[in-house]
Structure formats: C-alpha cells, structure tokens
Structure 1
Amino acid sequence: MKKKQKVERDQAARAIKLFAKLLFAGRPHSLTELAKTLRCSKQTILRLVDVIENSYSVYVELSKKGNRNYYQIKKNQRLPTLNLTESELRTLFICSVFSKHLLGNDFFDEATRALEKSIAHLPRQKEFSPELYGVFAPGSIDYTPHQKTMRLLATAMENKKVCKLTYRNLVEAGSKTFYIKPLKIFSSKDTVYLHAQMAKAPGKKYMEPEFDPLLAIHRIKKIEVTGRVFEFPEDYDFEKVFNRNFGIIKEETFKVTVEFSGSAGAYVLERIWSPDQKIVKKRNGNLQLTFSASSEPETIAWILSFGKSAELIKPRKLVKKIKIELKTMVDLYRFSDNYRF
C-alpha cells in the first residue's frame, strides 16, 4: 500500500512540474527534453499530458519540427491562478544567492526584486532573507563587467542568431575574431562557459573545426549579434557531451584508477566523478576510485591537488607524466635560493 501511495505522489509531483514547465517557460519543449528534465520515460510524459488536460481543463498544444514532437500550453487560455509556495520561494532565494558570484550584482538584484514581488502573493506575510545564505568563493571571477555579454548571448540563443565574437585565448597573446552559433551557457568550477558551433564567416570558405568551440565567457572581448539565423542541431545533447566523464576539455575518453588515503578517501566518496565510476574500499582502509576522464591535464592537476593522499594507478602513461611533473616541481625548488635540500 505504501509503495502504491509513493508511486501516486511521484506521479502527482511530476504532473505539477510538467504543467509549470509547459505553462511558464514561454516556448515549446520536445518530448525528449521533457523526459530528461523529469527523469522519466516518454510514455510517462504522454500520460501526464493527458492528466493535465483532464485535470486543469487546458489544451496542451502539439507541434512538430523535423521528426520531433513539441509541447506547450499557450497563455491565452483560461488558466488557474498559481502562486509560488513558501518552499518554492525559499528555494529560489537560495539558488539566487548561490549563483550571485557567477552572475554578478545586476542579475542577482533582478532575481531578488522578482522574488520580493512574489512574496506579496503569499496568503500570509512571510519573511525571506538572502542574508541567511552565502558563498565562500576565493579565486572566483568577477562577472559584473561581463553581464552585457551574457545578456546578448541569451538573446542570441533564444532567437537562434549567429554571433560575431572577438576572443582572447588563455595561452595566446592576441585576440581572434570569428563567427559562432551559441548553443548552451553553463558553469563549471565557478567559471561560466559558452558551448557553441562554428559558423561561416561572410565571404570566406567554411572549414570544419576539429572540436566545437568551448569559450570562457570572461575572455570574450567583444560580441555582436548578427541578423543571420541558424538551425539548432536536433541531435545536440549537452548531458551526453559533458556529463559522461571527468574534464571540461573533451578529447579521447580513458579510464583512470586512483587510490586515496585518509580524509581524501572520504571526500572522494561523497562525490560523483563520472556516471560509470566504481569505488572499492581496500583492506588497508584506503579507497580506490575508477572513473572515466577526457582531459589528461585536468586529471593530472586534480590528482596532484590531493598531495601524498592520492596515488595514480592507471593509466600507466599518465603515471609517467605525473612523475615528470613531480620531478620538475622538485627541481624548481631544489635550485631556488630560498630552499635547500
């Protein structure tokens, strides 16, 4: 009986989430996208659409683009009045504070004003204060000067417009100008990135790049949203590209095995490093982690960050590279005037 009640509660919760997404997002969503967002099958989404139409007496509009079905509730229908709950408002306040250092003061102030307007619709007066939450962010980037760039990119993505960018690479002295199709803005380790596809430069022959551009937004020096429209790739899957393995740089995937000792093992155990990871507790109390990675430099830097508490076991070629790195580090201090071995 309890299991049946839990299934019914889960279905009701999904129906509410689906209703809110179809109504408030302001755009149609593909069946594939909705299934991923709600973590359920496409068949479940179709059943929930029927539930929404029968329960709320609204029409969920179906449209087609290519071979995909898209769903949306148009706002010109007679719809029930829905206010944010206390729990939803509290969650949004927490999210806005946790992302303030990534988005900057202007975005945070806008989010706070929007939330404060919603408080007035609660059935009774309730206080929500962002002062209750905070972020410890040493070494973070100040994104305040880059908010115009993010707003222009957001507009370009919504309208599927090609952008002309001037970009400064981290390892190159000068800047380069090129055209891109902006696909997704995302954050990783307190840095905001743009994942895009290259677009043809006017009057020039298009050359297919080896990799799609992955751009740090704070290194975009200039942006211009052009009038050229692009088709969003139907097979684009951000989760499949980025959240399948360790490393923001996406090269050939390889398996990594690392043994951790002491508190490092407890730290690693609390986190997911790749969806296919395997963790084994050794007899000596150490923890052995095996996971998938796609970036050798990031993997080496991550392992070295644990100091003597982490030992790389595999792959052997990466072990050799770490030995070279460690020898270089030792030599750096051995010949320093400040250190004597």
Structure 2
Amino acid sequence: MGRNAQLIRQWAILKQIETNRWTTILDMAGQHVVSTKTIRRDLAALMEAGFPLYDERYDGKVYWRLNEEYKGLPLASLSLSETAALYFSKKLVVNLAAPPFSNDIASAFKKIESALPERNIQFLDSLDAMISVRADAPKDLDHSKNTIRILMEAIGEEVRVKMQYYSVHSQQKKTYTIDPYRLMYFRGGLYLFARVEEYNQIRTFAVERIESIEKTRDEFEKPPDFSVESYLESAFGVVKEDPFDVEIIFNKDIAEYVRSRVWHPSQVVREIGGGRITMKMHVGGEFELGSWVLSFGPSATVVSPERLRRRVEAELGRALENYRTEVTVAPRKSKKVDSKKAAAAGARRS
C-alpha cells in the first residue's frame, strides 16, 4: 500500500489513543488489521512528527497514551487577530466541509472559540452578522456520503474500484473499473479523477452520478508525478481536452464584470472601444466554455474558433425555438364528488 494508506492509518491510531486511554499495541493491530511490528513503526513515526505519545504499564499490560497537556494547535501562540481570522473563516470552511471531515471541522472551531474570551466572542459575533457566505449552487451530496467514504479509503489504500456511473453525455449507465487518484471540490461539486482501466486514460467523474461502488483487492500505483493542478492546467473547468485559442467579445453591459475576474490563467483582456472588451485564452474544454459563453446571453460573442462559434449559435437557435413554440400546461383534472356520498360523510362527522 502507498504512503497515503500509512498516513490515514497513523491518523486513525492517534485518534484512537486520544479517545481511549486504555489502548494497547495489540488492540491497535487488531483494529487496523496489521502486525504489531507495523503499529510500532506507526507509533515511532507519530512521535517523530511531534505528537507526545508515551507508554504506561498497568496491571501487567502496556497502554499507549497522549500527553493530556497537549493541545495540538498552539492557540496560545496565535494573536487575537489571527484567532479572529480563523473564527471568521469557519463560514467558508463549514460551507465546503464534506465527509469524513465535517464532524472534526465543527469540533475544531468549538476549540478555537473556547480559546477566546467571552467578550471577544460577543464582539466577533456582532461582526459575524455582517458577513455571509453563499455557495455557488452546491450539489446535494448527502446521499453520496458512503460513496465519498469508499473513495477516500480506496485513494488512501491505492486499490481499484468498480462502479456504476450515469453518463450525462450518453444518457446511459456504464460500469467502470478505475484507479481512483484524487477528489476535487469545484464550483459546488465533488469530482473524481481516475484512470479508467478499459481506456487506459484519466477521466473526470461527478461523484453524485456514481450509482454504486465497491472496492476490490487489486492494488494500483499512482504515477508519482501526477497532480490534478498540472493535469488541469489548460482546462477551463474540470474536463481536460487539447487546448485551443479562443477569442470572445463582451459588450459594455457585462465588460466590467468579466474584466474583474480571473477566469483562466491564460486570459488576456483588451479594450476595443465603445466600452467593449475582447478576451483571448488558450484553453481546453469546449462544452464548459460554451456553457459559460451562453450564460452571458446576447452580451458575449465568440469570434474564434469557428467550431465554438457554431456550437454557441446552434444552442442559441434551439433556445429561441423554445420561445417560438407556445407552451401549454394541461389543467389538472378535478375529482368528481358524489353528492350523496359527500352528504353521508358530512352527517357522520356531525
């Protein structure tokens, strides 16, 4: 198993010792299904990382414990402004929290709040009322908690996964055997980057569209130089495609909004008169790029490439057809009420 599996196990061991002061090496070996020799190496690695673990003999057994004075995060060394910044950041962090970290995040912020004087808390609460965080149309991942848990385990243990996935592109369910590399939170959704065994290619999967999933016993080795950031360097969103040159004109009414944001690292913006701007990018992901352009309606015009221009034109044409066709909604049929039965029911109630 890879380094990730060791780290996950060592973190679980630390939590096990922290919550149960009567933990032996044999207990830990049984809990994590490894040898006692492996547990000893894990304990040594944790102590080398600075966690104050120690063993204590009682009634003929040796128990492992965490120094009770250890606070983990040295809150005392933080300034008030640093602690306040952490306190304010909880709105962002909790907003992005996903299993299996949500409970730990809530617990961590309670400890941060406990490090502040009551008067400071009251003051920060009054400022807190001035700041709100609203997620950008987040996906509902409540039903995917078990899927996320299995994926986290498989990524950490570096074992293959079999899953049934609903493809929006083909409108069909497909079964894949994959090497899960990494999860990524992007614009309100959680995405999986994995090598598909059948195609020997890395693909992107939306977690909420995974309908069933199971770990296998087959191990894989992730390329040591793989990173999602490098993989998506030229992508406009989360789908990697060969990059191409793009030019888009934005009208005056939307120019300032577009200019004020970094949509892609390669973007170059230039004034072209009349309050309009042109944006050039070298980017991949035609579907995502087209959807982005369409979101600006008549205020954005694709100059190049021609295939993207034609794609946006076709989508606008289909949208126009929706409004040229009269939409009628059939009225709901009212239920016929038998007057004799209704009268009898009324008599019974009275």
Class of the TM-score when normalised by the shorter of the 2 chains? 0.5 to 0.7
Matching residue of 1:336: 326
Aligned pairs for 1:246-325 (under 5 A) are: 246-325=236-315
Which of structures 1 and 2 has the bigger CA Rg? 2
Matching residue of 2:139: 141
TM-score (norm 2): 0.64
Matching residue of 2:203: 213
User: Residue 322 of structure 1: CA displacement?
Assistant: 2.4
Structure 2 unaligned blocks of 5 or more: 1-5, 9-46, 54-69, 329-350
Q: Relative to 1, partners in 2 of residues 1:245 and 1:141: Cα closer, same or farther, differing over 3 Å?
A: closer
| SS state at 1:213 partner | strand
CA distance in 1, matches of 2:112, 2:96: 24
Q: Relative to 1, partners in 2 of residues 1:90 and 1:196: Cα closer, same or farther, differing over 3 Å?
A: farther
Which one-letter code corresponds to 1:135 in the other structure?
Answer: V
CA distance in 2, matches of 1:96, 1:223: 32
Matching residue of 2:105: 111
Q: Root-mean-square deviation (CA), in Å?
A: 3.4
User: Residue 257 of structure 1: CA displacement?
Assistant: 0.8
User: Residue 192 of structure 1: CA displacement?
Assistant: 0.8
Q: Deviations over 1:76-126 (max 9, x none)?
A: 579997514355555555555335455469854441122213444568875
CA distance in 1, matches of 2:112, 2:327: 62
Matching residue of 1:157: 155
Matching residue of 2:339: none
Q: Relative to 1, partners in 2 of residues 1:138 and 1:319: Cα closer, same or farther, differing over 3 Å?
A: closer
Aligned pairs for 1:146-225 (under 5 A) are: 146-172=144-170, 174-199=172-197, 207-209=198-200, 211-225=201-215
Q: Does the 8 Å CA contact 1:161/1:230 hold for their aligned counterparts? A: yes
Q: Does the 8 Å CA contact 2:162/2:216 hold for their aligned counterparts? A: yes
| Between 124-133 and 148-157, the greater mean CA deviation after superposition | 124-133
Q: Relative to 1, partners in 2 of residues 1:250 and 1:283: Cα closer, same or farther, differing over 3 Å?
A: same
Which one-letter code corresponds to 1:257 in the other structure?
Answer: E
CA distance in 2, matches of 1:90, 1:26: 30
Matching residue of 2:74: 83
CA distance in 1, matches of 2:130, 2:184: 26
TM-score (norm 1): 0.65
| SS state at 2:202 partner | coil
Task: Percent identity, please.
Answer: 26
Q: Relative to 1, partners in 2 of residues 1:146 and 1:131: Cα closer, same or farther, differing over 3 Å?
A: farther
Q: Relative to 1, partners in 2 of residues 1:146 and 1:97: Cα closer, same or farther, differing over 3 Å?
A: farther
Q: Does the 8 Å CA contact 2:234/2:240 hold for their aligned counterparts? A: no
Matching residue of 1:6: none
Structure 1 unaligned blocks of 5 or more: 1-24, 28-71, 200-206
Q: Relative to 1, partners in 2 of residues 1:332 and 1:120: Cα closer, same or farther, differing over 3 Å?
A: closer
User: Residue 148 of structure 1: CA displacement?
Assistant: 2.0
CA distance in 1, matches of 2:138, 2:206: 13
